[in-house]
Structure formats: structure tokens, C-alpha cells
A and B are shown apart, each in its own frame.
Chain A
Amino acid sequence: MSSRRSRISEEEINELISKLHSLLPESRRRSGASRASAAKLLKETCSYIKSLNREVNDLSDRLSDLMATMDTNSAQAEIIRELLRS
């Protein structure tokens, strides 16, 4: 831990906290409420990241299964088609 800490204004921290708040999925419901406590926000952020990681895992397995059941040529074609569409 460095003893030389740059002065971070409370304003900047509040700004970052509200930005993070707006990225979380449930924040839309409570948009009228005053800003959530920092600890609660961090906790929600952590569980959101964990759930996103879980989704990446599940989707990877799902894609792996799908690729196993398709033959190579059509899988390639499908992937290229998807690329050109996006």
C-alpha cells in the first residue's frame, strides 16, 4: 500500500458509484431512490460479475454441444453468415 495517495475527490467517487449503479440490471427499478450505499452496490456488482461469468461458462458449453452436432461445413457457413449480419 503506497503511502503517497493522490487526492481523489469525493465527487469523483460518487460519480463512479452512480455510473456503476446504472450498469447493474436492477438499478432501473430504483431509479428514483437516492444512491445506494457503497457496500450494497459493491455487493451487487460482485454478484453481477459472478453471474456473467457463469453465463459465459454455460454458453461456452452450449456452443460446444451445438458444434458437435453440426457438420463442419454448415457450422462454418452459419458462423460466417452471423458475422456478416452483425
Chain B
Amino acid sequence: ENSPAPLPERAIYGFALFLGSWFGFMLYLIWAYVPETWLFSLGLTYWPQKYWAVALPVYLLVAIGIGYILLFGINMMSTAPLNSTHTITDNYAKKQQQKKFQEEAIPALRDIPINEVNRMFFLPEK
């Protein structure tokens, strides 16, 4: 079953991820800062150009910044315009079936059409 409780397996996964991320970070620092000649003298020659040690974080940050603007734009584009029927109804409401009215029972839940809602809100006079 699924429970959010801390289990021994989860503690081990967490620690493995912690060690892995520390190792990855140290590897990145070594690659970015240690001069190429020292790495060559150790025999490690097949590493990517150090240009990428600066380029990749910049790419990532610019992508995150553009992502904010992109998400805002996508939201605005998918908002239904004022003259579309999506502001009033949708497929589920069109296909809903009328349930039989039972005496002394709470009426079944359904999507009430907009003209009835308007009548209830705006028409009755005090």
C-alpha cells in the first residue's frame, strides 16, 4: 500500500541520492576548475570542453526564465474567448442524463443551465 511514512528503504534511497549528488557536484567542480594539463598528466583526456561548464548552467537559467513567460503565455492562449460556448458548457454537461426526481430525497447533482442560474440570482425582487 502507499503511505508517506519513513521506511528503511526510503532512508537508504535518500542517502544514496545524497552521496550521488555530492559526487556529481565534486566531479563538476573538478572538471570546471582543474587545468587541462593536470588532467592530461593524470591520463584523463576524453572530457568535454570546459566551455560547457559555463554554458550549460547559463542555458538552464535562461530556459527557466523563458519558461515563466512561456507558461503565462500558454495560459492566456488557452483561456476561452468571451464569445465561445466553452464559457457556458462542456462535453460532460451536454451529455449528462436526467435522474428521476424522488420524493423527500436531496435532488441529484447536475450542471444547471446558465439561464436558470441567472433567473435565480438576478430576477427575484424583494
Is this pair of chains taken from one and the same complex?
no
